[in-house]
Amino acid sequence: MIRPVNPYPVGLELEGRRVVVIGGGSVAQRRIPVLLESGAAVHLVSPEITPTLQGLVDAGRIRWQSREYRSGDLEGAWYAVAATKDSLVNARVAAEAEQLRTFCVRSDAVSSGTAVTPAVVRRGQMLVSVLTGDRARTAEARDVVARALSEAAAESPELDDTLRGTVALVGGGPGAEDLMTIRGRRLLAQADVVVADRLAPQRPLAELRADVEIVDAAKIPYGRAMAQEAINQVLVDRAREGKFVVRLKGGDSFLYGRGYEEAQACAEAGIPCSVVPGVSSALSVPALAGIPVTNRGMTHEATIVSGHLPPGHPGSLVDWQALARMRGTLVILMGVKNTPAIAEALVAGGRDANTPAAVVMDGSLEGQATHRCTLGTLTAMLAEKDVRPPAIVVVGEVAGLPQVLSGS
């Protein structure tokens, strides 16, 4: 069925309702985070999915059937998204949806579905949706609205041709979209290509122009990952094509983010590169949980440590015995798997087993959770609470301070 040119605008209440997404590529990666924010029970059908979507599957946030689409997959669905690269498959999905009277969006042929995904602008609790019947015009109209709503047009400036052929390394902050810097959002809005990590804010990706290429550079702990050399090459190649490339990472690019390696690769290739610092999860996530990494009269030092390698590993550059003798705060990143070994090494090195500790999961996101314990009970707590990445471990007296923030 050909959709009328004047669709009826409506907001869908999808809380707890089955939504089926067919296809696991970049389109699905854009749409699914927004569906999850609406409370939808997302069911994904695709033989392959992006690493970022894999992270959502591993976290139990979406259900995935690893196979091709087949008739019957839309049974019980309130809403469907046909997002494969095969137009024939998308047509079959739309046809099944039509039979079931389920509204369906087709990513490859907007007018052939029964619903249209609008371009959106979000400002706090206000959501503005824009529909024109044409993707390019819709994006243009959305940008006009965004400029009108944003002070000084901070998030949607006029396109800057001087950015073409350059790379910007943008730190996205701990995950919440409103903790991303204004400069980062402004540059993201101008990108031709976005190379994004799974821990980077996902909602802003849904607000990009339809023609923006999104490259999934997710690094799942001990799982799928795009090699750093390949990431570097993508940055260089796309910039050489005259495109403005934004490398969007969670946290800060220059704190365990390999930002310098990417900047170096650009420099060696003669590609101009700029850096937009991000709000680091090492400081912001404990703060969001009500834990100051320093506190007057309690600690004069805070040490940020990578825990991706366990104590004793031949590749580790951390002097765990020296850290055990320190009295200040330890903030351990990327260390969930190795935390038991780290806790054991710290106690063996002289740190009191009764030292307060805390683990903050999904910092800044809706599912943020904080679990407090001691250094000696840290290992047991990890197992009891089934702690998974992303999570940050804080060890020190500050972790035992009384909670003063509501909801933390």
Position 371 in a domain: yes
Position 3 in a domain: no
Position 7 in a domain: no
Give the structural domain span for 128.
118-156
Last residue of a domain, one of 277, 298, 319: 277
Residue 252: active-site member: no
Specify the CATH number for the domain of residue 59: 3.40.50.720
Specify the CATH number for the domain of residue 329: 3.30.950.10
Question: What is the tens place of the pLDDT at every residue in 74-107?
Answer: 999 999 999 999 999 999 999 999 999 999 999 9
Question: What is the tens place of the pLDDT at every residue in 24-77?
Answer: 999 999 999 999 999 999 999 999 999 999 999 998 999 999 999 999 999 999
Same domain (yes/no): 32, 110? yes
Nearest-angstrom CA–CA distance, 247 and 18 = 33
Share the mean pLDDT of the chain: 91
What does the pLDDT average to over 352-368? 96
Has residue 130 got a pLDDT over 90?
no
Can you give the pLDDT at residue 19? 98
Residue 219: active-site member: yes
Nearest-angstrom CA–CA distance, 302 and 28 = 40
Helix ranges (DSSP H) in 38-117: 51-58, 87-100
Nearest-angstrom CA–CA distance, 133 and 218 = 33
Q: Read off the pLDDT band of 332 (50, 70, 90).
A: very high
Question: What is the tens place of the pLDDT at every residue in 202-239?
Answer: 889 988 888 899 999 876 566 666 789 999 999 999 99
**More confident site: 112 or 46:** 46
What does the pLDDT average to over 268-291? 97
Has residue 318 got a pLDDT over 70?
yes
Can you give the pLDDT at residue 5? 56
pTM of the model: 0.81
Q: Could you say which of 73, 192, 216, 219 is catalytic? A: 219
Same domain (yes/no): 394, 286? yes
Which residues share a beta bridge with 321? none
Nearest-angstrom CA–CA distance, 298 and 303 = 14
Same domain (yes/no): 300, 352? yes
Same domain (yes/no): 242, 173? yes
**More confident site: 224 or 155:** 224
Q: Could you say which of 192, 197, 216, 252 is catalytic? A: 197
**What is the secondary structure of 304-346 as a DSSP string?**
EEE-SS-TT-TT----HHHHHH--SEEEEES-TTTHHHHHHHH
Last residue of a domain, one of 250, 277, 304: 277
Sign of the four-CA dihedral 275, 280, 281, 282: positive
